[in-house]
Amino acid sequence: MRKNNSHRPITRKVLFVCTGNIFRSFSAEALLKHYLKDHKIKGWEVFSAGTRAEKQPVDKEVLASLKTLGVKNLDHKQHKLNKAMLKKYDLVIAMSEDHAEFIKKEFGYAHAVLFNELVKDEHSSVLDIEDEVKDYATNRIAVESMIGRTVKYIHDNIPKLITGIEARVYLFSDFANGVYKRKHNNGFPVIKLYETPNTFAFMSISIPSKEDGHILVIPKKRYVLLHEIPHNVLSELLLTIQKIGAVLERDHGGYNVLINNGRVADQYIFHAHFHLLPRDANDQISLNGWDNQKMTEKQFVEFNNKLKKKINSKVK
């Protein structure tokens, strides 16, 4: 009889990226693997690579620091980042802002997430040696001190990293695939409201005080942004939204359909999802607006022509 795997978590495939793949990304890979093994956590595939990865040995202080923290297998081989890696791994974790920018510019991959973004929701870098120790070529004491602090920083934040990965990358996939151990952050159960072959709808725990719902509609397969969702899946999503929206409209004055694309647009969970907010006249829900730009008719036409050209070239 075929075994039912519908309630098994999706394998977490994580790639760390730094410059040389001999310090930050290497340490992150080694420490995450060590933590997973030490806590008998299965279902993860972890790797690391460098944007340059020019052949050079791992600094002995990196190895010593990792060894002090219990990492025993220190036989490391450098790997240079390539497109195949970006395609293979679900989550690419950049150790610095420079790495994320390089990955986007060089490979057109816009979904690299910063290490610090996952562990403390901060858009900042885990610095390299030369970034912090300006006289690194002659100040060995400062270099060793910096390496030790950085490796320990990564080590100390591995539990937060795992929590961040689970909550911001794989949570919705687990919900949609019925992984029974996954619940909302407050422990409430995930209750399926509606489902199609490619979509799943459930109630968010963030419910406005004067309303009785806030529904999320997601593709079962993880896509980060709206424009990445295949047309057939998007059609199912819109039909699901229509069906639920009709129910909300019948019982309320109306409803909003919202989607946040990208971190600057307040996307917190890296799995595309639509928000359906039921609305009533006195619900006191405020959707932030913006200050209108003052412009001439000529500027308005120029804005239109510029965008029209970009849209049409993209479509072709």
How confident is the model over 214-248, as pLDDT tens digits? 999 999 999 999 999 999 999 999 999 999 999 99
- Paired sense of beta strands 215-219 and 254-258, if any: unpaired
Tell me which of 179 and 149 has the higher pLDDT: 149
pLDDT at 4 (0 to 100): 43
Model's pTM, two decimal places?
Answer: 0.89
Task: Examine the pLDDT at 99 and tell me if it is beyond 70.
Answer: yes
pLDDT at 241 (0 to 100): 98
Q: Confidence class of residue 8 from pLDDT cuts 50, 70 and 90?
A: low
Is 118:161 a contact under the CB 8 Å cutoff?
A: yes
Q: What is the dihedral of CA 13, 14, 15, 16, to 10 degrees?
A: -170
* Separation CA 290–CA 308 (nearest Å): 23
Looking at every residue in the chain, the average pLDDT score rounds to 92
Q: Percent of the chain beyond pLDDT 90? A: 80
- What's the CATH number for 184-279? 3.30.428.10
* Separation CA 14–CA 89 (nearest Å): 6
For 242-301, write each residue's pLDDT tens digit. 999 999 999 898 999 999 999 889 999 999 999 999 998 888 888 877 888 899 999 989
Q: Where in the chain is the domain with CATH 3.40.50.2300?
A: 12-168
**Mean pLDDT of the region 41-64:** 96
Q: Confidence class of residue 23 from pLDDT cuts 50, 70 and 90?
A: very high
Strands across the sheet with 254-258, in order?
Answer: 192-195, 199-203, 215-219, 274-279, 254-258
Question: What are 13's strand-pairing partners?
Answer: 45
Q: Confidence class of residue 103 from pLDDT cuts 50, 70 and 90?
A: very high
Name the strand (E) or helix (H) holding 112.
none
273 catalytically annotated = yes
Among 73-77, 83-87, 159-163, 305-309, name the one with the lowest average pLDDT: 73-77
Tell me which of 143 and 5 has the higher pLDDT: 143
Instruction: Report angle CA 68, 119, 273 to the nearest 5 degrees.
Output: 145
Among 62-66, 171-175, 247-251, 287-291, name the one with the lowest average pLDDT: 287-291
Amino acid at 216: L
Task: Examine the pLDDT at 148 and tell me if it is beyond 70.
Answer: yes
Proportion of the chain in helix, strand, coil states, percent, rounded to 5: 40, 15, 45
Task: Examine the pLDDT at 78 and tell me if it is beyond 90.
Answer: yes
Q: Where in the chain is the domain with CATH 3.30.428.10?
A: 184-279
Instruction: Report in angstroms the alpha-carbon separations of 190 from 186, 203, 234.
Output: 11, 8, 23
Q: Confidence class of residue 7 from pLDDT cuts 50, 70 and 90?
A: low
* Separation CA 44–CA 13 (nearest Å): 6
- Paired sense of beta strands 113-114 and 199-203, if any: unpaired
pLDDT at 180 (0 to 100): 53
CATH fold of the domain at 12-168:
Rossmann fold (3.40.50)
Q: Confidence class of residue 187 from pLDDT cuts 50, 70 and 90?
A: confident
- Active-site residue identified among 123, 271, 273, 275: 273
pLDDT at 5 (0 to 100): 44
